[in-house]
Amino acid sequence: MKVHIKSEGREFTIPAPLSLALRSLSGKNIPDGGVETTKEQAEQYKKELKELAKAVKEAKKQWGHLTIVEVHSSNGDEVTITL
């Protein structure tokens, strides 16, 4: 995964491992809205997260570099996140 930033005439790219992005989806980083989850729900979430990781890796193999976020501001700043 790469984060490409263009701002004030400067450009730089930050390479980041895909595992970092997937790890950010762990239950600790998602607000639960005060609702407690059961052990079964936590296990189901973990299973679904693993399936998501496999699907993202397969998509990257099949299509190569996929742009998942592309933002252009009115003052010319740009941010692009690519798998």
Residue 27 is classified by DSSP as: G
pLDDT at position 30 is 57
| Cβ atoms of residues 66 and 59 within 8 Å | yes
Phi and psi angles of residue 54, each rounded to the nearest 5 degrees, phi first: -65, -45
pLDDT digits (tens, 9 = 90+) for 4-61: 999 988 999 999 887 777 776 665 555 555 567 788 887 888 888 888 888 888 888 8
| Cβ atoms of residues 66 and 56 within 8 Å | no
| Cβ atoms of residues 3 and 18 within 8 Å | no
Taking the domains of the chain in order of start, what are their residue ranges?
Answer: 2-30+38-82
